Structure formats: C-alpha cells, structure tokens
Structure 1
Amino acid sequence: MSDARNSQVEWRDLLALSHREILVELLMPLLALAAALIAGAVRCWPLLVLASAMMFMFGLRVSHGAFHRSLGLRKGGNDAVMFVLSALLGGSMHAIEVTHHRHHRDCLADDDVEGHIASHGFWRALLESPRYPLAIHLQAWRHGTQGQRHWIATELIVAVMVQGLIWKSGIGTLKGIALTLYAANALAAMPGIWLVHRGCRHRDSDIARSTRSRLVTWLSAGMFHHAEHHAFPAVPTCHLSELAHRIDAQGSTPPSIADDFASRK
C-alpha cells in the first residue's frame, strides 16, 4: 500500500506493548513446544505434528517481532530471543533478519532473495521452496555485517549441535518434532512469502496481500495481515488487526490473499 493512501492512519499508539502482551508473545512458541512434548509422551503423533508446526509458526512470529524491535524488548533481549529460537527451529534467525530488512527496503526487487519466490507460479514456487532456507543463509552471510555474521555462525553451530543431540538421543518424540520442523522449514516460503506477495510487482502501490477473515487471521497467528505490516512495519503483530480496521476506515483495503488465486497457480 502506498504511503499516500495511509497518511491519515493513526498507528503510533499501536506501538506499545503491555507487560502481559510481551509475556504472551514470548511464551507462545514455548507452550507449543510443551504441547508437542506432552503429545509425544502419550504417543499422540498427529497432535505432536500439529503442536510442532504451531511452535514453528509462533517461533517465526516472535522472531519477526525481534527483527523489527516490536517485542517491547531492548536490543540485547531481541538478540537473545533470536538465538533461542534459532536453536529451537533449526536455523539462524539473525540470517533471516538480514534478508528480511533487505526485503522491506526494496520489496520484490531483483535482489530481494526473500521475495523472489513470489514471482513464480504455484508449482514452481513449491518446487523451489525447499531451497529457500539455504538461499536466505547464503545471502545473509554475503551482505551481513561482521557482527551479524558472528551471530549467524554461532546460531548455526548451536542448531547443528541441537540436531546432533536429538538424533543421538534416540528419543522418538524429539525426532518427531525435528522431522516436522524440517518439513516446516522446507515449506515456509509458500504461506510466508508466495501467498502474501503473489501477483505483486516491484514498486507496485499494493506490494503485499492481506486477509479480513477472522479464521484465517487466527490460523496464521495474525501474520497474514501482511500488507499492513509492510505499510507500518514497527506495529507489533498482535496489533495488526486493529491497524487493519483503521486502514479499512480510510478506504484503502489491500488486495486479499484469496483474490485471483486459481488463475495464478
């Protein structure tokens, strides 16, 4: 959405988080992890997969907040959050931070490795999705600062160590969680990038899509208010629904993630 259409939208009051909201944000991936461990303990494998997928989704949401310093934490707190989630999710969150800020600076440009997958049709995007994490890490290493490279290297080493311990342990629950996270990492680009940017072009006034469905908003942990996020990236995820209402009131509702879906496969 262009800045001109949203110049009258009030958003600065949405930046602050209460202590309760901060705690809820930080606990979401940990509670999902606890649910996955309990499911494994009682051998309810479908629930384990579901809870592990939720942990991945919540982990990305919290990491994303850390990227934009919208968790209500100091810088050191954001770095610590990304470090812990790197170990849990199996990759470097500081690497994604590098490419994500490049994505925001020049969204869907030729060198936007994060947004590149949105230029493809559904099936090609699906085939390329498993390569997406590798492309993110390589681009981040190439363009990151020395400090960011230090974080990336440290997080990848810790993530490899965690995976080694999981597979050495022989614990079925941990292996099930790990396998689910492998699949989630391989497919994350489809809902996270392709779905919310498909059909958009570099320098379009509408650079991203959104949703107005309460069910979809709930299922996506609020992260499908993506056009709103691009327009006001400092607004915390938990306040994006309110921001969407305010944008609608200005008559500048963004395109829906469901629009023209079939024709773009």
Structure 2
Amino acid sequence: MARQLHPKPQVRLDRALFKARTGESLLIIAYAVCLYLLPLALFVWVANTAPTVWVLLCSPLLVVAGYGLFLQAILGHEGFHFNLSGNPMHSCYLGILTSSLLPGFCVTGYFVDHWQHHRYSNSAKDPDYRHFSRYRTLASRIALSRLLATSNYLQATVRLAFGPLSSPSPLPLSAAQVQRLARCNIACQVGWLCVYAVALWQIDGLLLGFCASLAVAFLVSAFNAYQEHAFSEGAEAPPARSRTSRLCTWLHAGANFHLEHHFYPAVPCWRLPKVHRQLLDAGWYTDRQYLLEKHFVASFKYATRRHPYRGDTVND
C-alpha cells in the first residue's frame, strides 16, 4: 500500500491557469523550435566560415540546441495532457507534430505509460518507477535507461497503430482515437526524418551539429527522470522534485517545476512558475525545502547512485 506523504496542497489557484489557449501554445512551440534551430544554424554557419578555434568556442551552442530538441519532447507531453488546445485531439496532434522533431521519440506510446505514472506515481504500479528504479549507477542511468524506455515507447506506438483496437483505451480517449494518433505519430516521425535527410544532404556541416545536438538531447532526457524523481536515502519519499533555477526554467519552459506538474497536470508547463510562486506565498514549501533544487548544475547529482529512484508514495 503506497503512503500518502505529500497530498495535494490546499491552495486555491486562479482558474485561468488551467485554460488551454492554442495561440499561446503556438508561441511556446515557436520558442522551443527557435531554441533548437537558431543555435544549431549559428554553429553550422561558424563551422562553414570560421577557423577551427571559433568552431570550438561556439560548441556550447550545441548544448542549447540539444535542450531545444529535448523541449520538443516536453511539448509532446504537454499535448497529451491536453494543455496545448481546448480540443483534446487538436492538443495531441500539436504535441505529436512538435515532439516528432526528436528522432525516435513516439509520444503516443510514451503517454500510455505516463498516464499510469500520474495515477500511481512512484508506486509498484507506476511504469516509470518499475523501469527507472532498476538502474543504480550513473553509467547505466545515462547509457541505458532512456535508450530502452524510448525503444519501448516506439514499440508501443507501433502496436497501437497497427495492432487490434484495445478495449478499454489505455488513455482517456477512445481506442479508435488512440489508433489515429499513433498512426499520425509514425507518419510525423517518417516525415521529419525525410526533412532531416534532405537538410543533411544539402547543408555542409549540419551532420556534426545535428548529431551533437541529438546526443545532448539524449543525455538531458536520461538525466531528467532522476533529476525529477531520485532522492537521497534520508529524505521522505516524495512524488517529485522541482528545479527552480532561472536557467532551468528557460531551458525547460517551466516543466522543471515537476512537483507542481504532478499536483496540477492540467496547468500548461509554462505557467507552472506562477503555481510555484503561489505555493511559496501560501507557505506550503516552508518545511519542504528538500523538495526543491535551486541550482542548475547541482541538479545533475541526482543521477548518481547516492540518489535512488524511490517508490512507495502517491500524490493524489
């Protein structure tokens, strides 16, 4: 039986925080795409026009581009939480379109697990807990955990797209709707891969920049699960952690406030900083500072073996 150590805060939020607005979502999508493509384009331009020393000096641009690429996956997650549009299916389609920019990541299959992750957070029924808690070392967490999870999401999407209709649907949508989304997801993956292939063929220097950005996105996603859910042995088992640095908020578009997301999954990620401030003002975090990580670099320590991905807690 899971323990309810951190029930939902009894704080009344502004209802406007929960309202999905397509226009606002499109601006966030544009921001995420720019965070990915602009640093990548600048690096490629430098690589084609400047001496090697300038290429090396500009290599941090690829870290930013990698975060921008990872942000596409976050927006796919937001789409399946129905946070990108007032129409649930439109929200999912927007999430599929943007998240398919990340090669191999199929958000439809991912969200079959993620929906259960929210229902049974960090308990034996939580697919994320069962998967990510198996990896104890930094090397296995970085090299294997996300790679195998992404493979599972791809396989799940293919089954949903071409297998028999499941009854009931694993998502809060009809089985037929989930099948259409899965097929759209595969089509978008193929479409973006074709776009990448043409771009890589036509643009000198893009291959290096794209591969490096993809590698950064992979590493960021591998660290991310443990940054959000791994705690030291001594801490009470909470549902999630929020990372509060401004740099993290900029790179994750607010999705770094992951504890707030677990409490209020219907609030779009870019509004979660407002939710966090309301919880701070209400005093909810006064004796819960261990649920926060205030420093960007320090948050990477949670992928080490000193911080297990722990279970036996719920947050509803």
- Scaled to the shorter chain, the TM-score interval is 0.7 to 0.9
Residues 1:49 and 2:62 aligned together: yes
Residue of 178, 181, 184 corresponding to 1:151: 184
CA root-mean-square deviation: 3.4
- The residue that corresponds to 1:218 in the other structure is 250
- The residue that corresponds to 2:292 in the other structure is 256
SS of 1:42's partner is helix
Q: Are the structure 2 counterparts of residues 152 and 220 from structure 1 closer, same or farther at C-alpha, using a change threshold of 3 Å? A: closer
Residues 1:120 and 2:123 aligned together: no
The 5 Å alignment of 1:1-265 reads: 4-16=7-19, 21-32=24-35, 33-43=37-47, 44=55, 46=59, 48-91=61-104, 92-110=106-124, 112-115=126-129, 116-118=131-133, 120-123=135-138, 124-129=140-145, 130-142=147-159, 145-167=178-200, 169=201, 171-199=203-231, 206-253=238-285, 255-257=291-293, 261=302, 263-264=306-307
Query: 1:112-152 CA deviation, whole Å, 9 max, x = no partner?
Result: 44443155334131232333311222344456643343234
Query: 1:73-111 CA deviation, whole Å, 9 max, x = no partner?
Result: 534532442343244211323233333223212223445
Query: 1:205-229 CA deviation, whole Å, 9 max, x = no partner?
Result: 7211113333443344322210100
Letter in 2 for 1:117: F
Letter in 1 for 2:241: R
Larger gyration radius, structure 1 or structure 2: 2
Q: How many residue pairs get matched?
A: 262
Q: Are the structure 2 counterparts of residues 79 and 68 from structure 1 closer, same or farther at C-alpha, using a change threshold of 3 Å? A: closer
Q: Is the 8 A contact 2:121 2:239 kept in 1?
A: yes
Q: Are the structure 2 counterparts of residues 101 and 151 from structure 1 closer, same or farther at C-alpha, using a change threshold of 3 Å? A: farther
Q: Is the 8 A contact 2:74 2:99 kept in 1?
A: no
Letter in 1 for 2:238: D
Identity %: 20
Q: Are the structure 2 counterparts of residues 11 and 155 from structure 1 closer, same or farther at C-alpha, using a change threshold of 3 Å? A: same
Q: With structure 2 as the length reference, what TM-score do the two structures score?
A: 0.68
Cα shift at 1:183: 1.2
Distance 1:184 1:122 in 2: 19
SS of 2:253's partner is coil
SS of 1:206's partner is coil
Cα shift at 1:197: 0.5
Letter in 1 for 2:187: T
Distance 2:218 2:249 in 1: 22
Gaps of 5+ in 1: none
Q: Is the 8 A contact 1:63 1:81 kept in 2?
A: yes
Letter in 1 for 2:155: L
Distance 1:175 1:87 in 2: 18
